[in-house]
Amino acid sequence: MKIFAYGIRDDEKPSLEDWKSAHPDVEVDYTQDLLTPETAALAKGADSAVVYQQLDYSRETLTALAEAGVTNMSLRNVGTDNIDFDAAKALNFNISNVPVYSPNAIAEHAAIQVAALLSQAKVMENKVQKRDLRWEPTIRREVRDQVVGVVGTGHIGRVFLQIMQGFGAKVVAYDVYRNAELEKTGVYVDTLEELLEQSDVVSLHVPHIPGVNDQMINAETIAKMKDDAVLVNVSRGLLVDTDAVVAALDSKKLFGFVMDTYEGEVGVFNKDWSKNGLDDKRLDDLISRENVFVTPHTAFYTTHAVQEMVHQSFDAAVAFANGETPAIAVKY
Please identify every residue annotated as catalytic. Answer: 236, 265, 297
Residue 104 half-sphere exposure toward CB, CA atoms < 13 A: 6
- Identify whether the C-beta of residue 249 lies closer than 8 Å to the C-beta of residue 289: yes
Helix 121-129 × helix 103-118 angle, to 10° = 60
Q: ∠ at Cα 330 (102, 110), nearest 5°?
A: 30
| 3-state SS, residue 318 | helix
Regarding 157 and contact with ligand NAD (CB under 6 A), the answer is yes
Per CB under 6 A, 221 contacts ligand NAD:
no
Sign of CA pseudo-dihedral 256, 158, 211, 65? positive
Quote the least distance from Cβ 95 to ligand NAD, whole Å. 16
Among residues 97 and 146, whose Cβ is nearest to ligand COI? Answer: 97
Residues comprising the chain, all counted = 332
Interaction between residue 153 and ligand NAD (CB under 6 A): yes
Applying CB under 6 A, does 234 fall inside the site for ligand NAD? yes
Between CA 70 and CA 48 the distance in angstroms is: 6
Helix (H) or strand (E) holding 94: strand 94-96
Q: How far is the CB of 50 from ligand COI (least distance, A)?
A: 13
Question: With respect to ligand COI, which residue has the nearer C-beta, 226 or 297?
Answer: 297
Residue 193 or residue 324: which is nearer to ligand NAD going by CB? 193
- Tell the smallest beta-carbon distance from residue 250 to ligand NAD (Å): 25
> Is 112 an interacting residue with respect to ligand NAD (CB under 6 A)?
no
Partner touching 28 among ligand NAD, ligand COI, none, CB below 5 to 8 Å by kind:
none
Residue 157, binding choice from ligand NAD, ligand COI, none, Cβ under 5 to 8 Å by partner class: ligand NAD
With a CB cutoff of 8 Å and minimum separation 6, the contacts of 7 are 31, 32, 33, 34, 35, 51, 52, 53
d(CA 62, CA 56): 10
Residue type, 145: D
- C-alpha 140/C-alpha 160 separation (Å) is 21
- The residue within the footprint of ligand NAD, chosen from 156, 161, 173, 328 (CB under 6 A), is 156
**Contact indicator for 267, 299 with CB cutoff of 8 Å:** no
Question: What is the footprint of ligand NAD within residues 169-188 (CB under 6 A)?
Answer: 174-177
Asked if 152 interacts with ligand NAD (CB under 6 A), we say yes
- Binding status of residue 297 toward ligand NAD by CB under 6 A: yes
Angle at 46 between CA 18 and CA 317, to 5 degrees: 50
Please identify which residue in 27, 30, 63, 154 interacts with ligand NAD, judged by CB under 6 A.
154
Least separation in angstroms between residue 77's CB and ligand COI is: 3
- In the complex, the smallest distance separating the C-beta of residue 162 from ligand COI, rounded to whole angstroms, is 20
Site residues (CB under 6 A) for ligand NAD?
78-79, 103, 106, 151-157, 174-177, 205-208, 213, 234-236, 260-261, 297, 299-300
